Amino acid sequence: MERAGHAAADLAESLAGTGGHILIVAGPGANGGDAFVTARLLRERFFAVSLVALTTSAATATQGADPDDTAAARVAFVAEGGELLESIPDDTPWALIIDGLFGIGLSRPPRERAAELISAMNALARRHACPVLALDCPSGLNADTGHAQPTTVRASHTLSFIAAKPGLLTGDGPDYCGQLRVDSLGLTSGAANPGTTAAATDSVPPREKPPSAPSAPLISLNTAEPPPEPAAQGHIIQRRSFARHLRARASNSHKGSFGSAVIIGGAPGMAGAALLAGRAALKLGAGRVYLGLLDERFGSVDPVTPELMLRPASSLAAQTADALLLGPGLGSGETAQRLMEQLCGGPVPLVLDADALNLLSTHPALAARVHSRQAATVLTPHPGEAARLLASSINAVQSDRIAAASALARRFNAHVVLKGSGSIVALADGRWFINTTGNPGMASGGMGDVLGGILVALLSQGWPADEAALAAVHLHGAAADRLAEAGIGPIGLTASETIDAARHLFNRWCAGAE
């Protein structure tokens, strides 16, 4: 706690500037203890500190993880002349607000005085345009799941202690955390050095308790399935998670060296989805890309990308493929269903996206077939598709994205990419990863098709499906980030632009240029 307070005071000092007034809100547990230590240290550094405690009675400060430490921190603050205020002083021009109300111990929605303090912190930050530093986790955000309560501190900065928590990185987490820093407090070796950002350390700590609540809605489709067990440890996707496959191409290679990707989709009116996936597969290095369109009137050439080999979908069912993507614009008619039945049993890696996932959710025989596949399967649902697959609701999925992705991975014996802010990759063996690349510009039409195309391209080039899923998600987001940095997004970022940026970045990664 003392180390946490020192790390927080250092960051607070740099955020507050010189001589400003700092408001600190302290809760009843160890997060509040961190706040008392921070407050004491900032006073020692001559800052004007106003500390408001959720409970001003020391007797109630005994329920947290480390009650003795919290009580001692409170006593030390008071002993050095600090005052516990009942309410936030009016008319103070705050230079910084520090949220030490709740951390990982939030156990219920904030109500009454707790909710009032959170609302006041948010309102004062807006009024004074001052930064808000959340200690460990913004109060109101579930640090395990990334689910934010209606009343949650909207921090501009979050200093997370020891390691990043999964809920800071997915779902509502990134929006409420602002800039995230992780300080290991010297307690872990290697990656998580004090002051590093979350992206510099790839471990997120064990989930301390089973995912809250989702088990009932999430597993209602198959009651024989055991409730979701949290994996021992998750990871943040880093380039090193898949770097062993990033290599320059041999000079002595030909298009057969990089495999054939087959993409099936593009029902009438939805050819665009399949074309985007095809173009992504081509530009991310598949040797040959066959596009099986259900809309047979579309013709045999895409004039924009004549390299794509367009065929009637039915004729591609028997085509030799090294990897298969089923779903972009597939529709849900009988033809789509028949194609899925035909192709699901094949011996090559299979990516199921979009309408293919919807068919899976409504046809139990298809689901059984996918579960028993010998070759790898990757499912790439967005939260709505995940909810349908789990016979659940989008809210339930979003309230614990890691549990939802892991439940799908178990149910379908597949690797699962649950898309959205902080995409989750849950592998069939139980490991899970959070992706930290990407930006809101990716919430636009065709982005999912591009991800599917990148994925099938890597699979056709022989990448193992687990690392292909990690790489595709990470690259897709990194490409969009690169475009946003250049002002091509986040507003108005298009899926097509993301394909070209991903190609550029992938070549640089493979050349070891960055």
**273 marked among binding-site residues:** yes
Which of the 8 DSSP states describes residue 26?
E
Phi then psi for residue 61, to 5 deg, are: -90, 50
| Least CB distance to K ion at residue 99 (A) | 4
R_g of the chain, CA atoms, integer Å: 25
Tokens of 244: 């062993």
298: helix, strand or coil: helix
- 381 lies in the site for ligand NAX, by CB under 6 A: no
DSSP 62-103: TSSSSHHHHHHHHHHHHHTT--EESSPPTT--EEEEEEES-S
Nearest Cα to Cα of residue 499 among 452, 449, 450: 450
- 166 lies in the site for ligand NAX, by CB under 6 A: no
Q: Could you tell me which stretch among 136-144, 364-372, 439-447, 459-467 binds K ion (CB under 5 A)?
A: 136-144
38: helix, strand or coil: helix
| Least CB distance to ligand NAX at residue 1 (A) | 4
| Least CB distance to K ion at residue 26 (A) | 10
Nearest Cα to Cα of residue 43 among 53, 55, 35: 35
User: What is the x/- site pattern for ligand NAX, positions 127-156, by CB under 6 A?
Assistant: --------xxx-------------------
- Between CA 458 and CA 471 the distance in angstroms is 9
389: helix, strand or coil: helix
| Least CB distance to ligand NAX at residue 156 (A) | 18
Sheet holding 84-85, edge to edge: 84-85, 48-53, 21-26, 94-100, 132-135, 157-161, 179-183
Phi then psi for residue 52, to 5 deg, are: -110, 125
Contact positions with ligand NAX (CB under 6 A) in 44-83: 63-65
| Least CB distance to ligand NAX at residue 52 (A) | 14
**Between 20 and 67, whose beta carbon lies closer to ligand NAX?**
67
Q: Could you tell me which stretch among 26-34, 328-336, 353-361, 452-460 binds ligand NAX (CB under 6 A)?
A: 26-34
Nearest Cα to Cα of residue 218 among 410, 448, 417: 410
**Between 139 and 392, whose beta carbon lies closer to K ion?**
139
- Between CA 168 and CA 179 the distance in angstroms is 10
- 134 lies in the site for K ion, by CB under 5 A: yes
**421 marked among binding-site residues:** yes
Nearest Cα to Cα of residue 477 among 406, 431, 418, 421: 421
89 by Cβ neighbours in 10 Å (0-12 / 13-18 / 19+) ranks as exposed
Sheet holding 234-236, edge to edge: 203-204, 234-236, 432-434, 424-426, 415-418, 377-379, 350-352, 323-326, 260-265, 288-293, 309-312
- Between CA 13 and CA 10 the distance in angstroms is 5
Nearest Cα to Cα of residue 265 among 331, 319, 350, 314: 331
- 31 lies in the site for ligand NAX, by CB under 6 A: yes
- 168 lies in the site for ligand NAX, by CB under 6 A: no
| Least CB distance to K ion at residue 177 (A) | 10
- 34 lies in the site for K ion, by CB under 5 A: no
**Between 11 and 451, whose beta carbon lies closer to K ion?**
11
- 1 lies in the site for ligand NAX, by CB under 6 A: yes
| Least CB distance to K ion at residue 136 (A) | 6
**422 marked among binding-site residues:** yes
**449 marked among binding-site residues:** yes
160: helix, strand or coil: strand
| Residue of 122, 139, 460, 498 that binds K ion (CB under 5 A) | 139
Q: Could you tell me which stretch among 101-109, 327-335, 355-363, 444-452 binds ligand NAX (CB under 6 A)?
A: 101-109
**Between 116 and 225, whose beta carbon lies closer to ligand NAX?**
116
Contact positions with ligand NAX (CB under 6 A) in 383-402: none
**171 marked among binding-site residues:** no
| Least CB distance to K ion at residue 87 (A) | 19
Q: Could you tell me which stretch among 133-141, 322-330, 473-481, 484-492 binds K ion (CB under 5 A)?
A: 133-141
Q: Which does 134 bind (CB under 5 to 8 A by kind): ligand NAX, K ion, none?
A: K ion
**186 marked among binding-site residues:** no
| Least CB distance to K ion at residue 34 (A) | 8
**420 marked among binding-site residues:** yes
| Residue of 23, 95, 99, 411 that binds K ion (CB under 5 A) | 99
- 161 lies in the site for ligand NAX, by CB under 6 A: yes
**147 marked among binding-site residues:** no
Residues engaged in binding ligand NAX (CB under 6 A): 1, 4, 27-32, 34, 63-65, 102-110, 114, 135-137, 161
Binding residues for AMP: 419-423, 448
Binding residues: 273, 329, 382, 419-423, 448-449
Residues engaged in binding K ion (CB under 5 A): 99, 134-135, 139
